């Protein structure tokens, strides 16, 4: 199967005593939903930031579709960070226009349809929305792109169970079927059923990369149960 | 892509810019209303029938009015620069940076787009402040000429002012000639300084925030600290280089050359520092970006 992401010898440290990412090499295929799983501080977000060009690695390389991380890969990746990244003073319609201007693959009609389903008026400013609705607007923006890779950092953290269902449904129903989805989370039980493959990370290192089905068959446990076993304190 | 970056940057900062323009317009209207009112004449002592109380109140109005105008004029441009600097930092290196820095746009295009919009806004405000001052002084001048010349016709007043300006031009030209000043060259330098320095200063401001983001935490505070440190370094360089040049200029025993050197040096040094900061910021964004 053709590789979408190729990571070779990747390392990153924030200070001399601690490696946030320690010599990771991995190849991820196209067309899969992949769970990037690990406890807090395992290096998931650091890896995601480097994938999106928000942090520079100390050593190693990352390629997406055979292209080193840069301007070109940014047009291939649809990224949902673990925080609100929209200007609070902006109206939603201005954000839609911004996405349409910068991303050729942005489907503005899909975004409008998803907003309408949620009853969110695009003429309101971001600051008037609740925290949950802000997160949903961001998710709608990200999933309204026909990207090659969706990178979702903790998309269901800190939201109620009903919102989690909505978020997962939106991801499953709207992602480009030829693309891969990389979901970082430690709430495994909620996402387990949608995952094709899983990556376990701990202390900046790769502990496991296999299919979700393989984990279930080999260990006779769900991914969540196996994760709890591997990372038991 | 540059046009798109500028379009969205313009949208995001034009609210504050528009507000400041309204403040300037309000100040101008208040100033003109004051000059047109009997209070201005009372302050100037044009009517001997006015009682002392009215003259004092008019004087206080005038004094505080001028103080407030000077404060507003200074704060508008400086305040806009600070706002634009913070806005740049927030949109590039704080939460909003997670979107800005993942747009499929070169970092040089992002910086240039934001710089052009910010420079244009500072320039607009500078021009409006200048026009406001012209309007206020012009109105006061017309009122004074009208009072002292006792002319009723507005056309006659304007023609008298026009004659006065022409006489001043002749006198100034003679003064410049004696001082060895090349008027057209100096005017070109002044205009270039007026139009280019806002961009150079904004870039120095942006560059400082870009250096500040490398510290990871308290990026805006570190941006301001970087700005002051950068200013100290730049002023040191300006003083050293400027002193060397000034010695040469003074040695030439020409006041004109000294003035020309001062303007040229301000223009060239700011431009070089601005361009330097642009390349440094671009390098940091490409190689040392730290959205942590």
| Any A CB within 8 A of B3 CB | no
Sequence-distant (≥ 6) Cβ neighbours of residue B166 within 8 angstroms: none
Residues of A in contact with B4 (CB under 8 A): 101-102
Nearest to B291 among A49, A102, A103 (CB): A49
The verdict on a CB contact (< 8 Å) between B95 and A83 is: yes
Is a pLDDT exceeding 80 seen at residue A85? yes
| Any A CB within 8 A of B166 CB | no
Q: Is B216 left (phi over 0), alpha (psi -120 to 50) or beta?
A: left
| Any A CB within 8 A of B16 CB | no
The verdict on a CB contact (< 8 Å) between B102 and A102 is: no
Nearest to A74 among B104, B287, B289 (CB): B104
d(CA A120, CA A131): 13
Continuous segment of H or E residues that includes residue B76: helix B52-93
Could you tell me what percentage of chain A is helix, strand and coil, using 3-state DSSP and rounding each to the nearest 5? 35, 30, 30
Structure tokens at B3: 């046009």
Mean pLDDT confidence for A44-60 = 92
| Any A CB within 8 A of B12 CB | yes
Min distance A75 CA to chain B CA atoms (Å): 5
| Any A CB within 8 A of B102 CB | yes
To test the contact with chain A by mutation, choose from B19, B104, B106 the residue with the greatest count of A C-beta atoms within 10 A, namely B104
Nearest C-alpha in B relative to A72: B104
d(CA A12, CA B287): 14
DSSP summary character for residue A148: S
Sequence spans of domains, chain A: 3-230
Residues of A in contact with B1 (CB under 8 A): 102
Q: Report the pLDDT value the prediction gives residue B164, as an integer from 0 to 100.
A: 81
Mean pLDDT score of chain A: 88
| pLDDT-based confidence at residue A76 (cuts at 50, 70, 90) | very high
Q: Report the pLDDT value the prediction gives residue B42, as an integer from 0 to 100.
A: 73
Nearest to A54 among B7, B105, B291 (CB): B291
The verdict on a CB contact (< 8 Å) between A84 and B95 is: yes
To test the contact with chain B by mutation, choose from A14, A43, A49 the residue with the greatest count of B C-beta atoms within 10 A, namely A49
| Any A CB within 8 A of B152 CB | no
Q: Is A218 left (phi over 0), alpha (psi -120 to 50) or beta?
A: alpha
The verdict on a CB contact (< 8 Å) between B101 and A54 is: yes
Average pLDDT per consecutive 10 residues, chain B (292 residues; last block may be shorter): 93 91 89 80 71 75 81 85 90 91 94 95 91 86 76 73 82 79 81 89 90 78 83 81 70 69 82 92 88 75
To test the contact with chain B by mutation, choose from A101, A103, A104 the residue with the greatest count of B C-beta atoms within 10 A, namely A101
Residues of A in contact with B291 (CB under 8 A): 49, 54-55
- Of these ranges, A14-23, A142-151, B260-269, the one predicted with the greatest mean pLDDT is A142-151
To test the contact with chain B by mutation, choose from A56, A59, A102 the residue with the greatest count of B C-beta atoms within 10 A, namely A102
Pairing of strands A197-202, A149-153: unpaired
Contact B230, B204 (CB under 8 A): yes
Instruction: Tell which wins on pLDDT, B190 or A173.
Output: B190
Q: Report the pLDDT value the prediction gives residue A47, as an integer from 0 to 100.
A: 93
Alpha-carbon separation of residue A182 from A28, A39, A77 (angstroms): 10, 16, 10
In 3D, which of B194, B224, B232, B187 has the Cα closest to residue B208? B224
Quick one: how far is CA B139 from the chain centroid?
22
| Any A CB within 8 A of B169 CB | no
Nearest to B98 among A77, A85, A90 (CB): A85
Task: State in words which class domain A3-230 has.
Answer: alpha beta
Please count the other Cβ atoms lying within 10 Å of the Cβ belonging to residue B64: 10
| pLDDT-based confidence at residue A103 (cuts at 50, 70, 90) | very high
Nearest C-alpha in B relative to A138: B99
The verdict on a CB contact (< 8 Å) between A53 and B98 is: no
Q: Report the pLDDT value the prediction gives residue A128, as an integer from 0 to 100.
A: 92
Residues of B in contact with A81 (CB under 8 A): 98
d(CA B255, CA B43): 39
The verdict on a CB contact (< 8 Å) between B4 and A102 is: yes
| Any A CB within 8 A of B192 CB | no
Structure tokens at B252: 């030439």
ipTM of the complex: 0.88
Sequence-distant (≥ 6) Cβ neighbours of residue B89 within 8 angstroms: B209, B212, B213, B219, B220, B223
The verdict on a CB contact (< 8 Å) between A74 and B106 is: no
The verdict on a CB contact (< 8 Å) between A71 and B291 is: no
Structure tokens at A50: 């480097």
The verdict on a CB contact (< 8 Å) between B289 and A54 is: yes
Q: Report the pLDDT value the prediction gives residue B30, as an integer from 0 to 100.
A: 86
Residues of B in contact with A101 (CB under 8 A): 4, 7-8
d(CA B111, CA B99): 15
d(CA A47, CA B279): 28
Instruction: Tell which wins on pLDDT, B43 or A194.
Output: A194
| Any B CB within 8 A of A49 CB | yes
């Amino acid at each position: 199967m053709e590789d979408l992401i190729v990571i070779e010898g990747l390392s990153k440290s924030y200070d001399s005593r601690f490696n946030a990412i320690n010599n990771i090499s991995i190849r991820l295929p196209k067309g899969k939903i992949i769970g990037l799983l690990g406890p807090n501080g395992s290096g998931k977000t650091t890896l995601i930031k480097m994938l999106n060009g928000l942090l520079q690695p100390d050593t190693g390389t990352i390629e997406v579709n055979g292209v080193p991380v840069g301007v070109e890969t940014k047009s291939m990746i649809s990224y949902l960070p673990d925080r609100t990244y929209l200007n609070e003073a902006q109206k939603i319609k201005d954000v839609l226009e911004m996405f349409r201007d910068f991303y050729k693959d942005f489907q503005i009609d899909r975004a409008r349809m998803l907003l309408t389903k949620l009853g969110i008026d695009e003429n309101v400013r971001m600051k008037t929305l609740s925290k949950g609705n802000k997160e949903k607007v961001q998710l709608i923006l990200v999933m309204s792109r026909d990207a090659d890779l969706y990178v979702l950092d903790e998309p269901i953290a800190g939201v109620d169970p009903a919102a989690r269902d909505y978020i997962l449904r939106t991801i499953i129903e709207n992602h480009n079927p030829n693309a891969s989805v990389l979901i970082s989370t430690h709430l495994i039980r909620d996402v387990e059923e949608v995952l094709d493959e899983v990556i376990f990370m701990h202390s900046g290192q790769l502990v496991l990369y296999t299919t979700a089905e393989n984990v279930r068959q080999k260990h006779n446990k769900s991914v969540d149960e196996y994760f709890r076993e591997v990372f038991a304190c | 892509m540059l046009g798109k970056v500028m379009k969205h940057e313009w949208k995001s900062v034009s609210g504050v810019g528009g507000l400041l323009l309204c403040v300037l317009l309000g100040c101008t209207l208040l100033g003109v209303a004051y000059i047109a009112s009997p209070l201005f004449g009372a302050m100037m002592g044009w009517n001997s029938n006015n009682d002392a109380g009215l003259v004092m109140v008019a004087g206080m109005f005038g004094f505080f009015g001028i103080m407030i105008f000077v404060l507003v004029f200074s704060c508008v441009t400086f305040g806009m620069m600070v706002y634009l600097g913070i806005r740049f930092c927030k949109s590039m290196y704080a939460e909003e940076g997670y979107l800005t820095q993942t747009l499929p746009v070169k970092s040089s295009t992002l910086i240039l787009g934001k710089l052009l919009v910010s420079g244009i806004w500072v320039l607009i405000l500078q021009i409006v402040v200048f026009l406001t001052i012209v309007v206020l002084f012009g109105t006061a001048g017309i009122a004074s000429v009208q009072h002292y010349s006792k002319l009723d016709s507005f056309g006659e007043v304007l023609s008298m002012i026009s004659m006065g300006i022409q006489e001043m031009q002749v006198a100034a030209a003679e003064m410049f000639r004696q001082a060895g000043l090349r008027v057209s060259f100096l005017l070109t330098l002044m205009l270039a300084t007026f139009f280019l320095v806002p961009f150079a200063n904004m870039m120095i401001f942006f560059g400082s925030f870009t250096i500040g983001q490398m510290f990871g935490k308290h990026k805006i505070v570190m941006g301001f600290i970087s700005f002051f440190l950068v200013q100290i370094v730049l002023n040191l360089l300006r003083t050293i280089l400027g002193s060397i040049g000034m010695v040469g200029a003074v040695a030439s025993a020409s006041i004109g050359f000294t003035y020309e050197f001062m303007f040229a040096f301000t223009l060239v040094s700011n431009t070089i520092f601005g361009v330097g900061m642009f390349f440094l910021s671009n390098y940091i964004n490409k190689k040392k970006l730290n959205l942590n």
